[in-house]
A and B are shown apart, each in its own frame.
Chain A
Amino acid sequence: MNRQSIRDAMIESLAGVTPSHPARGADSGFDSGTDRLELLPETVREHLVENESLRREWRQLLRQARAIRTLGRVPVPSDLDGRVVASLQAGYRQQRATASVQALPPEPAPLEFDARIGQVAEQALHEEGLELGLLEAPASLDGLVADRVDVERGLGSDPVRPRAARGRRRTNRLAALVGLVVVTGLGVVAVLPELGPARNAGLDAVEQASFSFKVVRIDDPALADADLKDLLGGMSGGILDGREYPQ
């Protein structure tokens, strides 16, 4: 029996240790001088009788065990069970969730998704451009792109059509601005372009007009802010609520 096995046997024998020896009473202290050799197996006990260092080690273990036994019991947190189970199962849950998602059939993205991505990307580019000042495209790029598009559409290098396209764009923008304000003899009165039946076409003017802020159109009330819907819904008497709009 080597020293390590003797030490292991001593530790295992500590299970019977109490805070103080019952025969000595509570006032006897932790280290009462009693070796409690009766706790040890016979073979181990013989080694301790012959070896003083082993007996010191045994007495030290006894003191430590008694000290530990005097500590108050700490209640187990009520959610410990759940945490243990969760930690044990977490990996499996993730695997199951991943497998479930992978098993789902493909779902086509709504059409508005493209538009939203475009808006977000555009906004990000705009903000980056404001910070870096590096994203301003040269003015000639519009023309180059228009020419290239026309070429790819089979319009060749017809010089008239690209110019017409660019001119129309500028005309719309100018019309939107000019249409905003008409000066009358009574003062400045706003007379705005009547969108009328061509309201959808007129929406281009909203985007092109030189406002001091950016305008984002919302077609699906589900995407609108609650205040936006409430005020419009209230003033109109609920016309927003007649249709089941796409979510």
Chain B
Amino acid sequence: MRLIQRISGLRALASQFEKATRRLWSGGPLAACLLLAACGAGLPSDGGSGTDDPPTYSSGGPPSYFAQGPNAPFKTAYRGTRLVELYYDAQAPVVYREDVGANGKNKFSVETLDVLVTSKPDTALFILMQDMRQTQIYRHRDFRIRDLGLFLSNYDFLVIPNSTNVAGVACDRVQVQARTAALSRFEVDIDPMTGLVMAWEEYDLSAGTLLARVAFETYTPYGDLSDMVLVDHVFQTTSYAVQSEGFEQALGFAPLIPQLQPGAGYQLAPMGEVLAVNDAKWAKLYLTDGMASCVFMHTRQPTPQVGGSGLAEKKGEVAVMQVGSWSSLRGTVNGHTVIMAGRVSEMNLATVLDSALR
């Protein structure tokens, strides 16, 4: 009871601090990290929801479940449906519902059920394509703390404990914004018991408009997955330390290592992957600022253009495409076939590639 009162009090405080925090965020790029519990109202570490493993809130750092963020989608067993609203392309919003589940042992499934809003008539094709790229959707689309250290270095956040309920799960509301050159801000609802993001919204900082919203509509812990086809990787994938000799040996060629990053605060993830795609070995590197991620894939063997619908590819030439805040790049340079994508600009992708070639 005492805890409930304290949380209610915290909610009132939260609204006051929200305004103050936003002023602070907008006031300078080096605004301090704010944690509500750090403002003289820290929750006791033994309080919480009465489970065996409750979250802890310290006065000087993030909630304990932040550390679960990178692995929560893969280590939490659940089944649910999510409503996905994407407004990055203002003239062509996409809204769909998806069936999602994970076995808590790295395997998952995310299947688009129906398309509610689109300007493209062929929804059957869209659903088919979504099915084929579900591993990328599950790993990259949604807000997630991907590297806690980098996240804490690059993002300001404000935690409002137990303030929302998403699909029956009491969540903490976390407000997040990049410290440097932020273009958007996030409102994230996290299950403090699992660290799983139950809902997130992204707003354009300058216009204040909603850019994206993804939220669970139904959620069942340890739900029945018997009718799902669970996946983890599309291709045979092996992880290596990027700087290790084993990585180069597994690839059969010296990997390209970016020397510049696609944005402030980004770092090359220490672990890379070797993908076996037909007869070719692909190096897959990740660059992240702790939340956003950028994928850098390349191989020494040129990819054959089998009935390709794209433009004829010339050596020493890369094609770039940008939609909203997302960009991708593909080309053949210095004998490497390269594919990149991320929530960065075309310029940033080209710069990363250029730095890897020099």
Interface residues of A in 185-204 (CB under 8 A from B): 188-197, 199, 202-203
Residue from A181, A188, A193, A231 within 8 A of B328 (CB atoms): A231
Q: Does A87 contact B (CB under 8 A)?
A: no
Asked whether, in the complex, the Cβ of B120 is within 8 Å of the Cβ of A217, the reply is: no
Interface presence of B348 (CB below 8 A): yes
Would A189 and B326 be within 8 Å (CB), given that A213-B354, A214-B317 are in contact? no
Q: Are A190 and B320 in contact (CB under 8 A)?
A: no
Bound Cα distance from A242 to B206, whole angstroms: 24
| CB–CB A215/B350 < 8 A | yes
Contact indicator B320/A218 (Cβ below 8 Å): yes
User: Which residues of B in the span 330-347 have a Cβ within 8 Å of any Cβ on A?
Assistant: 330-331, 333-334, 339-343, 345-347
- CB-contact partner of B120 in A212, A216, A237, A244, under 8 A: A244
Contacts of B134 in A (CB 8 A): 234
Please give, as numbers and ranges, the residues of chain A lying within 8 Å of B93 by CB-CB distance. 242
Contact across chains for A233 and B133 when beta carbons are under 8 A apart:
yes
Residue of A nearest to B266 (CB): A190
- Using a CB-CB cutoff of 8 Å, which residues 211-247 of chain A contact chain B? 211-219, 221-244
Q: Are A244 and B346 in contact (CB under 8 A)?
A: no
Cβ of B263 within 8 Å of any chain A Cβ, yes or no, is: yes
**A192–B316 touching, CB < 8 Å:** no
* B24 interface hit (Cβ, 8 Å): no
In contact, A216 and B317 (Cβ under 8 angstroms): yes
Task: Give Cα A39–Cα B198 distance, bound, in whole angstroms.
Answer: 102
| Interfacial chain B residues near A239, Cβ < 8 Å | 86, 88-89, 92, 94, 323-324, 326
Nearest CB on B from A116, distance (A): 8
A224 contact set on B, CB distance < 8 A: 309-311, 319, 321, 330
Q: Quick one: which of B261, B266, B326 contacts A236, CB cutoff 8 A?
A: B326
The contact of A211 among B262, B308, B354, by CB within 8 Å, is: B354
Whether B303 contacts A217 by the Cβ 8 Å rule is no
A206-B347 in contact given A225-B330, A239-B88 (Cβ < 8 Å): yes
Which residue of the partner chain, among A188, A189, A195, A240, contacts B347 with CB atoms under 8 Å? Answer: A195
Contact mask for chain B residues 257-275; partner A; CB cutoff 8 A; 1 contact, 0 none = 0011111101000000000
B8 on the A face (CB < 8 A): no
Q: Residue B351 contacts which of A180, A199, A221 (CB distance < 8 angstroms)? A: A180
List chain A residues, Cβ under 8 A from B119.
242-244
The minimal Cβ–Cβ distance linking B260 to chain A, given in whole angstroms, is 4
A14 interface residue (CB < 8 Å to B)? no
Give the residues in chain A near B346, CB-CB below 8 Å: 203, 206, 215, 217
Q: Which of B43-51, B136-144, B155-163 contacts A (4 or more CB under 8 A)?
A: B136-144
State which residues 114-131 of A face B: CB under 8 Å.
123
CB <8 Å contact, B351 and A231: no
B345 and A243 contacting across the interface, CB-CB below 8 Å: no
Q: Say how far B286's CB is from chain A's closest CB, in angstroms.
A: 11
0 or 1 for each of A139-177: is its CB under 8 Å from B? (1 = yes): 000000000000000000000000000000000000010
User: How many angstroms between the C-alpha atoms of A202 and B322 in the bound complex?
Assistant: 12
Q: How far is the CB of B48 from chain A (nearest CB, A)?
A: 32
Q: Which residues of A contact B320 (CB under 8 A)?
A: 206, 215-218
In the assembled complex, how far is the CB of residue B71 from the closest CB belonging to chain A, in whole angstroms?
Answer: 19
Q: Which residue of B lies closest to A237 (CB)?
A: B141
A193 — which chain B residues lie within 8 A by C-beta?
347
Question: Which residues of B from 260 to 297 have beta carbons under 8 Å from A?
Answer: 260-264, 266, 293, 295, 297
State whether B89 touches A243 (Cβ < 8 A): yes
A176 and B353 alpha carbons, distance in the complex (Å)? 16
Determine the distance from Cα of A228 to Cα of B206 in the docked complex, in whole angstroms. Answer: 29
B314 at the interface (CB under 8 A from A): yes
Q: Are B309 and A222 neighbours in the complex by a CB distance under 8 Å?
A: yes
CB neighbours (8 Å) of A230 from chain B are 129, 132-133, 136
A180 — nearest CB in chain B belongs to which residue? Answer: B351
Q: Tell me which of A211, A216, A234 contacts B136 (CB under 8 A).
A: A234
Task: Give the complex CA separation of A233 and B86 in angstroms.
Answer: 12
User: Does A209 reach chain B (CB closer than 8 Å)?
Assistant: yes
Contacting pair B129 A238 (CB below 8 A): yes
A positions within 8 Å CB-CB of B: 123, 176, 180-181, 188-197, 199, 202-203, 205-206, 209, 211-219, 221-244
5 interchain residue pairs of minimum CB distance: A234-B136, A225-B310, A243-B92, A234-B133, A242-B92
Query: Could you pull out 10 A-B pairs where Cβ atoms are within 8 angstroms?
Result: A193-B347, A194-B181, A205-B347, A211-B354, A213-B354, A214-B318, A224-B311, A225-B319, A229-B321, A232-B328
Told that A180-B351, A190-B348, A206-B347 touch, could you supply 15 new A-B pairs with CB distance under 8 A? A192-B345, A197-B206, A217-B346, A222-B309, A228-B341, A232-B326, A233-B133, A235-B140, A237-B142, A238-B129, A239-B86, A239-B88, A241-B94, A241-B118, A242-B118
